[in-house]
Amino acid sequence: MNPYPWEDFRPHQQTPYIYGYTCDELTQQILTMGYREVHGPTLFGLLHRYGPNLPSWFDGQRLPRGLWHKITSSDKLDPIHRVEAHQSDDGSTKYRFHISGGSVEGIYMPFPGRHTLCISSQIGCAMGCTFCATGTMGLHRHLSAAEMVSQVLNIKQRHPDETGKTKRFNVVFMGMGEPLHNLDQVLKAVSVLTDPAGLNLSPRDVAVSTSGLIPKIEQMATVKKRPQLMVSIAATTDEARSAIMPVNRAYPLEDLMRCLERYPLRKGERVMLSYVLIENVNDTEEDARRLAAMSQRFPSLVNVIPMNEHEGSPGFVEPDESRTNAFANILLAHGVFTTIRRSRGRDVAGACGQLVQKIARKKNARTYV
Ligand code: SF4
């Protein structure tokens, strides 16, 4: 068995979809079609403002005759073939996006004053974290930048009152996949999402979550428009972490902590550490104290995430509320910025990979559906 499965390269879909272009690239494309440069930013802005499912009344009247029709009727506009929505009682909505070769998940989560759009970066994942439904799938392929941007636009378009008018939303790469395993395409998607002619998000409005691929974290540190960094810790000793996160065998905790100490943070920025809390696995007082000591080595914020149980998890159980609170209180007592984040959309298989897995099991499929 390959001990480093994440080095097994699986290319993303090579077809150049229009939603994978930055404004400059789209402008170059329309120049080759014989249109003027000035129409590039207008076209880019309209495509990103109105999303892939354009209203029927909209005819691109600020553009030359024919250009709008050519672009919007192209089968190279949107790589997402079909979208399924599953509404949760807690206000969040889980989406299943059908793309070439399988499907991925995204989730819309409303919070007071802002909204979070969580998207996927791969079909499946090579990391094999044992507490995660996606980790049981293995990697099928990387997503292209266009497939990631289109997830954002598809979700945003379905919640126009909240996200369309106020623009107060942020994007997190915490759905299916290890974003840093597909870093080039993730960074491309970030440049499209932060393009001033389109959604114009700040890089701080975008966060990527990694299991701890140190060389990729170091590569991201050199990027000017880098998103916020979230790192999944999930255990406080190498022995315990290697047992539930195989990536730790290649990149142990101490090396990861040293890498995070060196990571260049912008003013007021913190590394977000996520800690999936599992009963009798990583929820002792010693774990809390070790986690506090780790997190104080650099500016950080700890998100404690009680285990979201699923059929594929090997007996991992969510701790009861008092145990979760006791764990968080130890962190707080050590002066650590701490939040408890319960998975949203639990009634609709809210944690990453659960919806696709649930539907695959129903269809008795062995792989993605
Ligand atoms: S937690 Fe993230 S990195 Fe680990 S298997 Fe799941 S999707 Fe992959």
CB atoms within 10 A of CB 79: 25
Question: End-to-end CA distance of the chain, in Å?
Answer: 25
pTM of the entire predicted model: 0.90
The CATH label, of 3.30.590.10, 3.20.20.70, 3.40.50.1370, 3.40.50.300, for the domain at 79-362 is 3.20.20.70
Which value, in Å, is the radius of gyration of the alpha carbons in the chain? 21
The rounded distance, in Å, linking the Cα atoms of 210 and 221 is 13
b/e per residue 133-146 (b: at least 16 CB within 10 A): bbbbbbbbbbbbbb
Helix (H) or strand (E) holding 83: strand 82-87
Annotated active-site residue 352? The verdict is yes
Give, for all 369 residues of the chain, the pLDDT tens digit: 444 544 555 555 556 789 999 999 999 988 988 899 999 999 999 899 887 877 666 666 678 878 888 888 888 888 998 999 999 988 899 999 999 989 999 999 988 878 999 999 999 999 999 999 998 889 999 999 999 999 999 999 888 765 445 457 899 999 999 999 999 999 999 999 999 999 999 999 999 999 999 999 999 999 999 999 999 999 999 999 999 999 999 999 999 999 999 999 999 999 999 999 999 999 999 999 999 999 999 999 999 999 988 777 768 999 999 999 999 999 999 999 999 988 766 666 555 656 565 555 444 333 222
Annotated active-site residue 105? The verdict is yes
Domain map of the chain by residue range? 18-72, 79-362
The rounded distance, in Å, linking the Cα atoms of 83 and 154 is 8
Q: Tokens in use for 368? A: 């993605």
Ligand 1 probe mutation, 122, 127, 182, most atoms within 8 A of CB: 127
Q: Is the CB of 123 under 6 A from ligand 1?
A: no
Q: Which of 105, 147, 178, 309 is catalytic?
A: 105
DSSP per residue, 301-315: EEEEEE----TTSSS
Q: Are 129 and 353 in contact (CB under 8 A)?
A: no
